[in-house]
Chain A
Amino acid sequence: MKTSRKEGKIIKAIKTRKIKRQNRSLGGDIFLTVLLAGFGIFSLFPLWYIVVSAFKPFSEIFIFPPRLTVDNPTLNNFFDLKNIIEGFDVPLTRYIFNTLLITGLGTGGTVLLGSMAAFPLAKYVFPGSKVMNQVIVYALMFSSTVTAIPNYLIMSRLGLINTYWAVILPAVGGTLGLFLMRNFMVQIPDALLESAKIDGANEFQIYFKIVMPLCKPAWITLIILSFQQMWGTTGGVFIYSEELKPLSYVLSQLVSGGISRTGVASAVSLIIVIVPVTVFVISQSNVIETMATTGIKE
């Protein structure tokens, strides 16, 4: 009886359009908007500087004090960059191919293997599940940079140094993706899984046919994260052959040098930034849409 009266009040509140603005004061709104704008500017400023510098002609780079606008935008910095890259021994297409392969396999592997392992750990209790869940959480607590040396030793023992796998496998073995998937899967109602089980489906079929479609927001997010990580990888000491190096490595080599190289360096940075940002813009709307429609509630 009590709940129905409460529901009545809520319905009334929705009808009088109070719900959207409830519990929001004007003072708080102003304060928080200023906070948002302030940090927004801090966030954008360096990126804006990159965009502007990339299109500045040589003469404008030396204007004192530096301006945040371009009077005569030019593509010269990009042509300079093109000339530098054409001087390389390895063609640019090869670097792009390397990056695509590493990013594709790394992202695919992380999402597929991570989510597949996440499902039983999220929804079932079986011998070993508790220990595994705990190990996953502990593994999150340190970054892979700490274990770079032993990782190198293992890679060289397996003969994987200077292959794409040296970069892909450690990324796939990271627990971040698995943990994220597991967190989302926990929220799937048990009743759904149980009814599928009564229909005779095994865990793999349940995972593939029921859980994965429900977890679309989670794995899209995971694709974004994994893509960004793989895109930024330079191969480091794990890949030393020039023709196996990814694009980020080559580009980061160009971002050095003094003020006179600012234009080219900014052009390079712009290219490095634009790809993950574009991927995020495309998938973000997807994430937000699916988040809004795919409510997983008991």
Chain B
Amino acid sequence: MKQSEKISREPFSVVWKKNKYKYLMILPFGIIFVLFTVLPVLIAIALSFTDFDMVSAPSFIGLSNYISLFVEDDIFLIAVKNTLFFAIVTGPVSYIMCFIFAWLVNELPRIPRAIMTLVFYAPSISGNAYLIWKILFSSDTYGWANAWLLKLGITTDAVQWLATAGYIMPILVVVQLWLSLGVSFLTFIAGLQTVDRALYEAAAVEGIRNRWQELWFITFPSMKPQLLFGAVMQITSSLSVSQLSIDLVGFPSVDYAGHTILTHLHDYGNIRYQMGYACTIAVILFLMMMLINIIIQKLLRKIGE
């Protein structure tokens, strides 16, 4: 800390001479990052206070978009409710699953470990192969779920899985969980492998008695950076569900049961061309993502302290 304070008081030419290569190495990424990540956020915030249809210039309308979003737009409130429900279920569950399976896979011998890693990871990299769920839960008797329910005599008619409001959210949750052993899962495996083996050996001698104590006292604290990173990934992906919903249950879904904040954004941005309003939705979602992430980060930092 003291060192960095000292550096910042030096004149720019000295700073530059000392750190020239560091800045130059960051520069190429920096330019692209500012143009396509920082600037879009700023533009979205600016446009959220305007009425903009892509044809005429944006006109400033103050907080009107925000007011109509929360006061007049009933469907937006449904979207918020759905998104939060979806995130509260899939966020923590997928996070815990990523860790547990990474941990279990890591204990296997080499070959089974490679196979199981692939088995768990494959759904998340199979692109839009999740569309197969549409066939599994197809509304006619050829759908796998319906066929077996009928065959076993549990139901007498084909269930309209993807067109019944009550089934839409549970099915989306199941498919999202199926897809969720992705980046975090890999990061956890990588993290587990960097934990110093000697720590476990020492711990066994020191009196750690079972695998659960090992997990809590050694593994968690040793891989804190990966745990924090995984949390960010799972929170963000559980809040940004949209394509999955549109592809599986259609848009708009029955009774808006699969309507999320991002499908609402898609509605106003890509269909109605009300860009100002769409940006308002984006800003709200953006704030939600930041807020939830910051709270969870604060909580996770306490692990092992």
A contact set with B: CB distance below 8 Å: 6, 9-10, 13-14, 18-19, 22-25, 28, 32, 35-36, 39-40, 42-44, 46-47, 49-50, 53, 61-62, 64-66, 113-114, 116-117, 119-121, 124-127, 129-130, 132, 135, 137-151, 153-154, 169-170, 172-176, 178-180, 183, 186-187, 202-204, 207, 217-218, 221, 224-225, 228, 231-232, 237, 248, 252, 255, 259, 262, 265-266, 269, 272-273, 276-277, 280-281, 284-285, 287-288, 291-292, 295-297
- Which secondary structure dominates chain B's binding surface? helix
In the assembled complex, the Cα of A190 lies from the Cα of B236 at a distance in Å of: 33
Q: Does B47 contact A (CB under 8 A)?
A: yes
A272-B41 contact given A127-B7, A262-B135, CB 8 Å threshold: no
A176-B196 contact given A50-B132, A280-B125, CB 8 Å threshold: no
Q: Chain A interface: which of B64-72, B73-81, B160-168, B206-214?
A: B206-214
Minimal Cβ-Cβ distance residue in B for A123: B22
Query: B36 and A117: CB pair below 8 A?
Result: no
Q: Chain A interface: which of B82-90, B251-259, B278-286?
A: B278-286
Query: A265 and B131: CB pair below 8 A?
Result: yes
A35-B211 contact given A13-B201, A113-B28, A126-B19, CB 8 Å threshold: no
In the assembled complex, the Cα of A124 lies from the Cα of B129 at a distance in Å of: 43
Query: A65 and B147: CB pair below 8 A?
Result: yes
Most buried by B among A44, A141, A228: A141
5 smallest A-B Cβ distances: which pairs?
A65-B147, A147-B40, A120-B22, A150-B43, A150-B40
Which residues of the other chain, B, contact A288 by a CB distance below 8 angstroms?
110, 113-114, 193
Q: Does B269 contact A (CB under 8 A)?
A: yes
Which residues of the other chain, B, contact A202 by a CB distance below 8 angstroms?
21
- Which secondary structure dominates chain A's binding surface? helix
Query: B282 and A231: CB pair below 8 A?
Result: no
In the assembled complex, the Cα of A9 lies from the Cα of B213 at a distance in Å of: 20
Query: A35 and B100: CB pair below 8 A?
Result: yes
Most buried by A among B26, B105, B204: B26
Q: What 11 additional pairs, Cβ within 8 angstroms, besides A23-B214, A273-B125?
A: A19-B204, A35-B104, A36-B101, A40-B116, A43-B178, A143-B236, A149-B269, A154-B39, A174-B37, A203-B21, A204-B25
Which residues of the other chain, B, contact A125 by a CB distance below 8 angstroms?
3-4, 7
In the assembled complex, the Cα of A49 lies from the Cα of B33 at a distance in Å of: 41
A285-B114 contact given A145-B262, A183-B225, CB 8 Å threshold: yes
Which residues of the other chain, B, contact A173 by a CB distance below 8 angstroms?
29, 32-33, 35-37
Query: B26 and A266: CB pair below 8 A?
Result: no
Contact of B210 (CB < 8 Å), options: A23, A132, A232? A23
Most buried by A among B3, B183, B214: B183
Q: Does B270 contact A (CB under 8 A)?
A: yes
